[in-house]
Structures are given as C-alpha cells and as structure tokens.
Amino acid sequence: MNTATPTIDEWAGSVTPMVEALMNSTIATRAKTDVIKRGGERALRHRYRVTRRLYGILVGIDREHARVLFETQTGPVEYDLPFMPFKNAGVTKVHQPFEYSEIEITKARGEIEVVPEILALAPASSVIVESVPLSAEYQEKRRNVLKYFSRKT
C-alpha cells in the first residue's frame, strides 16, 4: 500500500467534504492532462493532482446509502456514503472492490476544484460469495442458537 495513505487522524476532519463532494459532483474520468476549449477563447490547460487514493470494498447497500470499508495503515475504516456515485461507477455488488480518489483540478485561471472518482477494481459479475462447510462442533452450536431463537418468537 502507498505510504501516502492518510492516517485516521488526517481522515477525521475530511469526512464531510468527501461526502459533500460525492453528493454534489459527477464522477470524474481518469486523471490526465486535458485541453478544453470554451467559446472563442483559446484552449485552457487543466492540471490534475490526486490528493487522496484509498482502496475499499462495498460492505452493504441501502436504497440511498452504501456502507464501505476503506483500508488504511491503522486498520479498516467503515463509512456510510451516498450509493449513486458507486452505482454510476459500476460498484453494485457487496464485496466488490473499488478505488476512491480525490482529484484536485487546477484550472488555467487559478480556480481549484476537488472532484471524487470511484473506479471499480473488478466487475460486479466476478463477485462470488461461497459458503464454507462448518465443522461438527460449529454445526451443533448453530443448531442450538437457532433452537434458542425459534422458541423466542
């Protein structure tokens, strides 16, 4: 993992801007130098800089929210974020890995815009959840738990 990954302390103050950026912007294309023409003006050069890159997996999906788990140097960090940007990026299955990047765009006039980007690291069709056979001991524990809760209802 990249040594530039932010620590949990650096993350603490940046959750709100990240959520606002996801809610108020569209998904960016991969960062690269771009030339844009506006009206009769000459072409303006935009510079892109990735300010943050995190790797994560989709843990759960609600109608409007996605619960994601980011990998950091201090351990996993779980967040609830808007689901629509993930859906637009093709991250739609639980356990699907993705990359989250914050890209800072510096425009020719000096304006700075921070744009989030979500990139699916594997297609949704490749996500497979397989069950693991239980040992005899755990099968007995499972039976007891189910029996206990079946009496409660």
> What are the domain boundaries of the chain?
8-152
pLDDT number for residue 56: 93
CA distance 98 to 91: 7
Q: 73: Cβ–Cβ under 8 A, 6 or more apart, which residues? A: 1, 5, 7
Beta strands in the chain (DSSP E): 34-36, 44-61, 65-72, 75-82, 97-106, 112-120
Between 17-21, 71-75, 103-107, the lowest mean confidence (pLDDT) is in: 17-21
Say if pTM beats, i.e. exceeds, 0.75: no
pLDDT number for residue 104: 87
Rounded to the nearest integer, the mean pLDDT of the chain is: 75
- pLDDT beyond 70 at 5: no
Class for domain 8-152, per CATH? mainly beta
Please write the tens of the pLDDT for every residue from 41-53. Answer: 344 466 778 888 8
CA distance 89 to 124: 11
